[in-house]
């Protein structure tokens, strides 16, 4: 089971372990990690699961889709490592993934 | 606390339910505003979700005519997120052309990409979470002032004294608009959505356009002052200095102002009234909230779901498409009935119940989904959160002492009057 670490905006970190195939968004919401809302339930239809991917991992996640690009426009403070967590599916290859949370979801 | 007029409204509701069940399917026309005035449209939606979830109606109102009603949560999500097929460019209400309008007002909610994206981006930062932190203490202070000035032991109209006053204050704050003139914003918001064809009490089209021209003059003056001054954080200054918006023409400026004024006014205003009414109608939920004010976190999205202050958004098909087993033709218009999707049991457990500690309260359609999702959603939530924190802190009882008067509109789902009394 892949492990993933969420670094909160004010510094506190949470590491959770989830079954292969879980989205990064669900990994947070199912484990009560604060800071990820997931209002649309994982349809890439809002931007409330915005995360910043640790630069070391950016190359291993694949590219954003056009829809994800569209929806990221709704988020605050988009950076080159911004992703929507509902679009990242966790696999063993992503074991150890580290992401940081924005100040709040918009 | 016993809900007032509960017998009368239960009788009305049963009769309306029987009527909705007896009508031939093809006669069901949810856009008829009467169903919103008497709050019986829910029966139509309940039947449509079950029997004909993507439903073709004909409205007798010229300018509306034929349209599709999309009533299930998942189909609404599909339409809302497929903006390449379902366009906003022909407008967001079913009426094709507001009567008496010299031209259609261009506003980013009624645009497709790429222009939509550019203009929205100019507005986005003002209502971003970091910026909201700065507004918080000002909203709380102004909310407290309004609540402290409410009459005690006497019946007053909650809509006017609380909902309109607070949302208008907020808009004036966002625009850095002269506070003493703030009720002009309310008036402009009201006339911007007024429609003589569906509401006989609406102002004449000439009166309406004259009012909107006054609005444009007023804002043009503020714009000119701010475009020549260093950039500030109010919305007009942001638009006047934003690369995507600083060269807007007069019509586009008016359109986007109408959008921000209506978007920030009619919506939250009606959630402020609808929330009090919902808690009054569900005394056990009010008791839960009183016992645990931390539930305000989930109360706020639940109020927004329950009220659904914008009952639908319109889209227009850019190509033939299939939706819920129906053949949509290029050029057809569709109403995504958020009000119906928000009561869809197949997507929201116990959707017909108002539950202040609901498990996933944020998964509702009231803000829309996809690229047009409400830009001010976090601000709306913040205003409601502060309102309920300050209400619970101040008043042990808030009594709804009569039935509400609802607005004659199938688009803005709201109230003009709610009699309330706060024991002194």
Q: How far B10 CA sits from the closest chain A CA (Å)?
A: 33
The stretches of B1-128 forming alpha helices (DSSP H) are 6-22, 34-37, 41-51, 73-81, 115-123
Hey, what CATH class is B6-421 in? mainly alpha
Least confident of A94-103, B100-109, B231-240, B328-337: B100-109
Q: Which of B166, B158, B177, B176 is nearest to B142 (CA)?
A: B166
Residues of A in contact with B362 (CB under 8 A): 37-39, 48
Cβ neighbours of residue B420 closer than 8 Å, sequence gap 6 or more: B155, B156, B157, B158, B276, B398, B399, B400, B401
* Pairwise CA distance, residues B99 & B93, whole Å: 13
B375, B124 contact by CB (below 8 A): yes
Look over chain A and give the mean of its residue pLDDT values, rounded to a whole number: 96
Residue A20 lies in a domain: yes
> How many C-alpha atoms does B172 have within 13 Å on its Cβ side?
20
Q: How far A43 CA sits from the closest chain B CA (Å)?
A: 8
Q: How far A17 CA sits from the closest chain B CA (Å)?
A: 22
Residue from the list B113, B360, B373 with its beta carbon closest to the beta carbon of A46: B373
Sign of CA dihedral B400, B405, B407, B410: positive
Q: Which of B185, B211, B336, B208 is nearest to B264 (CA)?
A: B185
Q: Check A45 against B120: CB less than 8 A apart.
A: no
ipTM: 0.93
Structural domains counted in chain A: 1
* Pairwise CA distance, residues B250 & B253, whole Å: 5
Look over chain B and give the mean of its residue pLDDT values, rounded to a whole number: 91
Residue B414 has what DSSP assignment? -
Domain boundaries, chain B: 6-421
Instruction: Please tell me the predicted confidence (pLDDT) of residue B9.
Output: 61
Model confidence at B2, pLDDT cuts 50, 70, 90, reads very low
- A40: CATH: 3.10.20.30
The model's pLDDT over B360-374, given as tens digits with 9 standing for 90+, comes to 999 999 999 999 999
Average pLDDT rounded to a whole number, residues B198-205: 84
Residue A39 lies in a domain: yes
pTM: 0.93
From the CB of residue B69, how many other CB atoms can be counted at a distance below 10 Å? 24
- Per-window interface: A 39-78 vs B, CB < 8 A: 39-41, 43-48, 67, 70-71, 73-74, 76-77
Please state at what angle helix B296-307 crosses helix B266-281, rounded to 10 degrees.
110
Residues of B in contact with A41 (CB under 8 A): 360, 363
Q: Check B371 against A73: CB less than 8 A apart.
A: yes
Provide long-range contacts, Cβ within 8 A and 24+ apart, for B23-28: B25/B51, B25/B52, B25/B55, B26/B56, B26/B57, B28/B52, B28/B55, B28/B57
Backbone angles phi, psi at B103, to 5 degrees: -160, 165
Q: Whole domain around residue A66: which residue ranges?
A: 3-100
Q: Check B371 against A43: CB less than 8 A apart.
A: no
Tell me whether the omega of the peptide bond preceding residue B359 falls within 30 degrees of 0, making it cis: no
Q: How far A22 CA sits from the closest chain B CA (Å)?
A: 19
Least confident of A14-23, B187-196, B409-418: B187-196
Residue A106 lies in a domain: no
Residues of A in contact with B367 (CB under 8 A): 39, 46
Evaluate if residue B3 carries a pLDDT over 70.
no
Phi-psi region of B116 (alpha: psi -120 to 50; beta: other; left: phi over 0): alpha
Q: Which of B111, B135, B341, B373 to mutate to test the interface with A (most CBs of A within 10 A)?
A: B373
Q: Check A70 against B113: CB less than 8 A apart.
A: yes
Residue A105 lies in a domain: no
Between B124 and A43, the higher pLDDT residue: A43
Percent of chain B with pLDDT over 90: 67
């Amino acid at each position: 089971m892949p492990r993933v670490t969420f670094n909160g905006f004010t510094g506190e970190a949470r590491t959770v372990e989830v079954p292969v195939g879980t989205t990064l968004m669900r990994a947070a919401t199912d484990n009560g990690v604060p800071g990820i809302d997931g209002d649309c339930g994982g349809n890439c239809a809002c931007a409330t699961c915005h995360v910043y991917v640790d630069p070391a991992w950016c190359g291993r996640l694949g590219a954003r889709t056009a829809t994800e690009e569209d929806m990221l426009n709704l988020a605050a403070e988009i950076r080159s490592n911004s992703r929507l967590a509902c679009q990242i599916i966790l696999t063993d290859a992503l074991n150890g993934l580290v992401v940081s949370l924005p100040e709040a979801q918009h | 606390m016993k809900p007032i007029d509960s017998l009368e409204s239960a009788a009305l509701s049963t009769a309306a339910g029987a009527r909705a069940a007896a009508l031939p399917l093809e006669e069901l026309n949810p856009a008829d505003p009467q169903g919103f005035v008497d709050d019986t449209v829910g029966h139509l939606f309940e039947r449509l979700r079950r029997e004909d979830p993507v439903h073709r109606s004909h409205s007798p109102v010229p300018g509306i005519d034929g349209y599709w009603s999309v009533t299930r949560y998942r189909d609404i999500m599909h339409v809302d997120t497929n903006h390449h097929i379902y366009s906003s460019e022909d407008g967001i209400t079913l009426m094709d052309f507001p009567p008496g309008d010299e031209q259609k007002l261009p506003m980013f909610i009624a645009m497709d990409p790429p222009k939509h994206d550019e203009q929205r981006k100019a507005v986005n930062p003002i209502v971003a979470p970091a910026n909201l932190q700065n507004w918080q203490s000002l909203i709380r202070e102004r909310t407290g002032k309004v609540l402290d000035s409410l009459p005690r032991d006497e019946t007053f109209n909650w809509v006017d004294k609380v909902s309109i006053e607070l949302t208008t204050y907020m808009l004036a704050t966002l625009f850095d608009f002269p506070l003493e003139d703030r009720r002009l914003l309310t008036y402009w918001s009201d006339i911007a959505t007024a429609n003589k064809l569906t509401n006989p009490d609406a102002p004449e089209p000439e009166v309406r356009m004259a009012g909107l021209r006054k609005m444009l003059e007023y804002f043009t003056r503020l714009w000119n002052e701010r475009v020549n001054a260093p950039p500030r954080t109010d919305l007009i200054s942001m638009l006047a200095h934003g690369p995507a918006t600083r060269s807007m023409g007069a019509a586009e400026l008016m359109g986007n102002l109408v959008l921000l004024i209506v978007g920030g006014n009619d919506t939250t205003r009606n959630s402020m009234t609808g929330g009090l009414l919902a808690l009054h109608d569900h005394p056990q939920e009010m008791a839960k909230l009183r016992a645990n004010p931390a539930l305000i976190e989930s109360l706020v999205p639940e109020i927004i779901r329950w009220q659904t202050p914008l009952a639908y958004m319109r889209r227009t098909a850019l190509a033939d498409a299939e939706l819920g087993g129906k053949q949509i033709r290029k050029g057809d218009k569709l109403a995504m009935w958020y009000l119906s999707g928000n009561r869809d049991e197949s997507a929201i457990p116990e959707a017909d119940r108002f539950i202040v500690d609901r498990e996933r309260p944020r998964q509702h359609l009231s803000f829309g989904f996809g690229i047009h999702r409400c830009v001010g959603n976090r601000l709306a939530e913040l205003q409601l959160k502060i309102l309920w924190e300050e209400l619970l802190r101040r008043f042990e009882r808030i009594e709804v002492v009569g039935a509400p008067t609802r607005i004659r509109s199938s688009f803005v789902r709201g109230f003009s009057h709610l009699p309330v009394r706060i024991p002194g």
